[in-house]
Structure 1
Amino acid sequence: MTSATEIGLYVHIPFCQHRCHFCAFYLEIAHVDRMTRFCSALIHEIRLHRPHHPLNGRMLQSIYFGGGTPTALPPDQLLSLLKVIQTTWPTSPTVEITVEAHPSSVTREGLTTLAQAGFTRISFGAESMREQDFVPIGRHGQVQDTATAVQAAREAGFLNINLDLMYGLPGQSLQDWQRTLELLLLLDPSHLSCYALTIEEGTKLAQDIARHRVAPIDDHLQLEMESSTEQVLTQAGFIQYEISNYAKPAWRCRHNLLYWTGGEYLGLGPSAQSYVNGTRFGNVANIDQYEACLNENRLPLTDCTRLSRAERDRDALVFGLRLLHGVPLQAIAEADRDSEIEHLITG
């Protein structure tokens, strides 16, 4: 289990150059003026949080810039945000600092700037190494962008490089997926996140499938791909420490482990979620509302819920079952059981 003293910070950067057809996350298309105004609002949110969440002597163990595409922001803006965070809350000497990136959104110079400023981990949204797979999901860029970005990140000083992948894409065969894995292993990443494509209501991909413009998901094929992923990556020396996540020894994502092991995390930015002192709360999922609250010196909070013992135990069971080490039998025996937990245990 995560130490009771551990806490992480998530920063949501809601900008992309383009919305992929499968994406249901809150984001906006990147514009310079909009991003500059947002960064000012985000800095104000950080400072408003300080008296409410002083961390009580704890240090941030992880900082995660997600999105969206955080690298849609210029490197100097990301550095400014990181500096404000580090001067607001104490950070561990071994803090893991992750930034998500689209392979085509980075430059060698920008990556060097981020690495030298203290970012320790970068996560590229590669998705596939077959350009035909990009068409139905509306992803921009070329497969070569991933190889170029990984090489540039490594030369910039990033030792911890993750690649996000999706399988079960329309028109993708089992052999296509296995070839993607083989090509990406040649890039020598330290971590791979492999997700089955899911169709989110309201996305363009969902509409295209409903209108028979794109083939629907083949659940049986996705299961074959999932099994193949485990086999290929395990043979390559990766450890499947969570259902969708594989890491080389010592390179597990510490921030995501906070989510899965009952750790605490504070979320900043539109739609960001938090779990602190047994309470789950989130921010408004609209950048205009977000900025309006902060302009009035109010935290942009919504959906605040104090979890009961049974709810905390249920979450521990659900998330624990996603992990390699599972759930200790003693934890099941001691759980404050409600009807949902009984159903999980007894089926």
Structure 2
Amino acid sequence: MAAETPAHYHTNTPWNEPGAEPYIRVENVTKKFGDFVAVNDVSLNVYRGELFSLLGGSGCGKTTLLRMLAGFEEPTSGKIYIDGVDMAGIPPYARPTNMMFQSYALFPHMTVEANVSFGLKQDKVPSAEINNRVRQILDMVQLTQFAKRKPHQLSGGQRQRVALARALVKAPKLLLLDEPLGALDKKLREATQFEIMNIQDKLGITFMVVTHDQEEAMTLSTRIGVMNQGQIVQIGTPQEIYEYPNTKQVADFIGSVNLFEGRIVEDESDHVLIDSPEAGGRIYVDHGISSAPGAKVWAALRPEKIQLVKGDRGEPYNCIKGTVKGIAYMGNLSVYLIALDSGKEVKVTMPNQVRAAEQMIGWDDRVTLTWHANSPVILLS
């Protein structure tokens, strides 16, 4: 399979269309295990053909929510609708869903072909149709030549594709994937992300992925729901989640971010001025936020949006000074750890556009950090 994004992938945005009907509706769903609240009053709409990711750390409730969609758990309260049908009391085998587990759960004594066809045989699908559907799906995931092998004769990436083929061959309307790439190494995981995107785009099936990996969610998803302590705290496209986080928790969880605490000095329609002792200066943002003067806020600034130059420069705003205390050369970019004169440490990333770029600024160099006025995001909590 070609490891490139389809040209039309992520171009449809049904969530922005007023008349669009959600394919999955989760309405005020709560799930308790004794006194522990795993999922807390979650509401969510997912549209047909989306590749939607639930993203969060361990214990945030994302897998429990996925299992309720699959029918392996029943909500304590609230409703789940799939394609307009209330799923209350409907067992997993009667739902228009299939689930791909993190462990892949392949039958070790069966060949690839037998693993993929197992569900169809259980459903008593005619043999000719089974053979045709298995052949088509193995071709799609590029496993035709491995059809007679058993799982122990395959690589991790190949086993992952067998599990995906087995889940897809039954043509579910909704495919649920629980940490589907967690067992793969970084390079294989990156390649497989694009394979999943291509397959989902070709088949048009709605995918819902549970993952703790921010990069994976950003790569795969039409939209992301960020979960924390049983609640969805923000829903948006990867760009919206990254560029416009709505809380400190989301900003800190998605990628890397520098947070500067401060208080508002001016808040006008065209700008905000923040006094931040942590930054060691004033932060100017080119839009207003309608908050009271003196209110405590945080300016979230991504490391790649900061410019780094040697020496001390002087600007009234968005200009802070420090000393280089660490450099990590990552190949395509370098990460700089800067100890500000205020005592706070910040990260700055810079692309290595020429060879040995990491040597242009060295350890213990005095540096000035600047950024554009539209780069910070102002957070109230």
> Structure 2 length as normaliser, TM-score?
0.28
Higher Cα radius of gyration: 2
Greater relative CO (CA pairs within 8 A, separation 6+): 1
- Length-normalised TM-score, structure 1: 0.29
